[in-house]
Amino acid sequence: MTTGELSYEVLVLDGVPRAGGQTLPTGEGIVSSPLAVTLVKGVEDAVLVDAPYTYGQVDRVRTWIEDSGRRLRHVYITHAHGDHWLGLAELLSTFPDVSVHATAGTLKRMEHEGTAGREALWDRIFPGLVPPSPVLAEAVPESGFELEGHRFVPIELGHTDTDDTTALWVPSLGLLVAGDSVYNGVHQYVLESSAEGFDSWFAALDTLEALAPRHVVAGHKAPGADDDPATIGQTRAYLRDARDLLSRVRAPEEYYNEMLRRYPLRINPGPVWYGAVGLLGPTTRPSAAHS
């Protein structure tokens, strides 16, 4: 039985400078994308969607949840990229008796991301900043889970900016927490997208649009940006441009410069550059680093 209305808040965490290695064509260092975490609040309890990945971010999210006055009951992980969950165990050391949910596809990929993937990438580009990262999630029922009588429904999306991604749909709020299937004012990560990957991402956006959400929270959004459903179409337009350019240009610089020309108001160009180098550049691909 419903005990009260739901509301939600979004906390946008600043990007984190990457240690050494690859830089932008300007010589500037690459910074991770700003990360959005969402707290859906009932009268007494709350659901957190995605979790941060560094000690400093965990401290901010911990304080934010405590200040909400709600008891954290559930965490949902939208996909396996480490910047959306590696700090979860550290965060939950403060909050007992929390159920952690993810789909089976996400869980399988989290197991790799938290071990070999972490060693190859996260500990290399953010040395000493990422807490221990055991996989705490369990497979979510297909029907989802409840908070104070309100249903939370996982939406399987397949490949968007990586494989086995999902969104979380909260029908009573008209709220879609889209993970990295939707970007909002931030340059998009396409390094893992082949031709088939782009097709799958377009299909995922069609699935999300069909829900007719009133609010869409992107996994990476510019601070202060509204959670406008128009971001679904904006994400689609960006992907069309990216796919078109990648099919025509030969040099990473050409792709990078043209995407920044077309999208001058989007922030964090790092993924544009290392995506271009990975997809168009030397035969030795740089490590995938979506944040």
* pLDDT at residue 121 is higher than 80: yes
Question: Does residue 213 lie in a domain region?
Answer: yes
- As for how many domains the chain has, the answer is 1
What pLDDT score was predicted for residue 290? 54
Question: Does residue 82 lie in a domain region?
Answer: yes
Helix intervals (H) in the chain:
55-67, 88-92, 104-113, 116-117, 123-125, 195-210, 230-248, 252-262, 270-280
Question: Does residue 108 lie in a domain region?
Answer: yes
Average pLDDT value for residue range 31-42: 98
Cα dihedral sign, 109-111-116-122: positive
Average of per-residue pLDDT values in the chain: 94
Q: What is the pTM of this model?
A: 0.94
Question: Does residue 205 lie in a domain region?
Answer: yes
Q: What is the CATH number of the domain that holds 65?
A: 3.60.15.10
What pLDDT score was predicted for residue 291? 53
Question: Does residue 219 lie in a domain region?
Answer: yes
* pLDDT at residue 260 is higher than 50: yes
* pLDDT at residue 3 is higher than 50: no
Question: Does residue 1 lie in a domain region?
Answer: no
* pLDDT at residue 210 is higher than 50: yes
Question: Does residue 287 lie in a domain region?
Answer: no
What pLDDT score was predicted for residue 287? 42
* pLDDT at residue 150 is higher than 60: yes
Radius of gyration over every alpha carbon of the chain, rounded to an integer in angstroms: 18
The whole domain housing 248 covers: 7-280
In whole angstroms, give the CA distance from residue 74 to residue 70.
12
- Tens digits of per-residue pLDDT, 241-253? 999 999 999 999 9
- Tens digits of per-residue pLDDT, 158-181? 999 999 999 999 999 999 999 999
Question: Does residue 121 lie in a domain region?
Answer: yes
> Which two three-digit tokens encode residue 47?
């659901």
